[in-house]
């Protein structure tokens, strides 16, 4: 029998320790990033769409605050009460507002699809000339009221455009929307309101 000399295992060097530590750190970082990415996907997949987003408001169930004044679209005197008997969308908008530009065709569609639908615009941090051009250039033939001191926006609790309030034929606020609305989303709220009234 021959003796074979077996060398004892050598102790890892400092450089090997550093490499192992870096590998572990990289592995833990990759796992953490994968978990965060999966969580983000889950949040995005389950959150509500920004379209037709309804929010709470102290005005829900209350008669809408008064809106009166000359319309910037045709200079005719306007009062919100003149639209009672119709579903009215009070839309706070601005000509410079990108989401307002996207929602405009939906407002036109909704107003024209039924004789008991009406839209009234309220300028938010905008001036009459660009607002009038915006509406006329995008088939918005409804009244639009200037709000130079922001009092109407304050009365309705508006923070920024677009924000909209849907009123029932009695002038009561039945929904508040923050962001863009669609004709289909408005139709669903009207159908619910009409079903509840029966």
CATH of the domain at 77: 3.40.30.10
Mark whether 92 and 169 lie in a shared domain: yes
User: What are the CA-CA distances from residue 79 to residues 61, 84, 144 (Å)?
Assistant: 20, 10, 11
Helix (H) or strand (E) holding 20: helix 14-46
Under 8 Å between Cβ of 136 and 73: yes
Q: Is residue 193 predicted with pLDDT exceeding 80?
A: yes
- DSSP one-letter code for 13: P
> Is residue 5 situated within a structural domain?
no
> Is residue 134 situated within a structural domain?
yes
Least confident of 18-32, 58-72, 94-108, 177-191: 18-32
* pLDDT, tens only, 45-69: 333 344 567 777 788 899 999 999 9
CB-based contacts of 62: which residues, under 8 Å, 6+ apart? 172, 173
- Number of separate domains in the chain: 2
Q: For residue 22, give its domain range.
A: 12-47
Give the mean pLDDT of 155-169: 95
Report the phi/psi class of residue 102: left, alpha or beta, with left for phi > 0 and alpha for psi in -120 to 50: alpha
């Amino acid at each position: 029998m021959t003796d074979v000399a077996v060398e004892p295992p050598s102790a890892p060097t400092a450089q090997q320790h550093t490499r192992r530590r870096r590998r572990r750190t990289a592995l833990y970082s990759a796992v953490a990033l994968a978990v965060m990415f999966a969580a983000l996907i889950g949040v995005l997949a389950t959150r509500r769409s920004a379209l037709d987003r309804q929010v709470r408001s102290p005005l829900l169930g209350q008669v809408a605050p008064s809106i009166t004044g000359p319309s910037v679209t045709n200079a005719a005197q306007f009062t919100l009460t003149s639209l009672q008997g119709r579903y009215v969308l009070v839309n706070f908008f601005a000509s410079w507002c990108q989401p307002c530009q996207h929602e405009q065709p939906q407002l036109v569609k909704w107003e024209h699809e039924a004789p008991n639908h009406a839209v009234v615009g309220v300028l938010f941090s905008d001036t009459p000339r660009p607002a009038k051009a915006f509406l006329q250039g995008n088939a918005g033939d409804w009244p639009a009221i200037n709000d130079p001191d922001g009092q109407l926006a304050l009365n309705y609790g508006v923070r920024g455009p677009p924000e909209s309030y849907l009123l029932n034929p009695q002038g009561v606020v039945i929904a508040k929307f923050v962001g863009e609305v669609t004709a289909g989303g408005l139709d669903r709220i009207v159908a619910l309101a009409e079903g509840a009234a029966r």
